Chain A
Amino acid sequence: MKAYLSRRYHFSASHRLHSEAYDEVRNHEVYGKCNNPHGHGHNYTVEVTFSGKVDPLTGMVCNLADLDAFAKTNVVERFDQTNLNLLDCFANRVSTTENLSIEVYRIFAGFSAAHLERVHIEETSNNSFDYAG
């Protein structure tokens, strides 16, 4: 039996949408108030989905405690209470939630106990992004 397990994690971070490729006027046109030089922040929710065979003995796709430990170390503690723009992964990329989704997907791909299906990130309750590789 193949099942899909989804888990949601939360972190809060600041960012500023700004592209070095644009001048000041163009940045403001493209990113609007998200281009505020002082930055702003969000409570992000990451929903990650893994699939796999349900182990006939344990009834699990993967051990949730292992996944939680992986997510805590590699995602939550890495991004929580940070300024995303100052992290290495956004040194050369704009810290949009599209790019954040791709980075979080890359991180969760390192969890080898199940097959990564999808990363879904809610930036606000009205904005969400999906990346499935």
Chain B
Amino acid sequence: MTELTVAFTLNGRPCEVRTAAHRTLLEILRDDLGAMEVKEGCGEGVCGTCTVLLDGEPVSSCLVLAPRAAGCRVTTVRGLGDGDRLHPLQEAFVTQGGVQCGFCIPGMIVTAYAFLRDHPAASREEIRRAIAGNLCRCTGYTKIIDAIASAAPGRGGGAPGAAGG
């Protein structure tokens, strides 16, 4: 079994994992680095629950082999806020009632963050398309779309994704 060392940054913090080459990014995040904020919903790349940003782009971490993360920036939902302050998207999910069981939420917010960063004035229909790869079984999506739309900086929501990240 080929073992290798994979080094990357997790939410800005450098880390290094010694791992078998066939393990996934999701496995090393949860099992080796204790990044329990990344959830596993299906393990087959369908539900979007395990979404993280790899160099800023959303990926299903269950489909990414760990060595692929070498030298990359990995960002989870915990990397979006600014220290003690929540990211406006996180706040919008709370105030708009976009959270029920919450299991899909870390992946959903990460997807929404990357989308709003690139499409700060997105319409509801564009947001609806953007989250089609993130399943939610509780909310029926309406309040999730409400939350994302209300946080869109181009619509007055002020998600700082547009400014920097």
Is chain B found bound to chain A in the same assembly? no
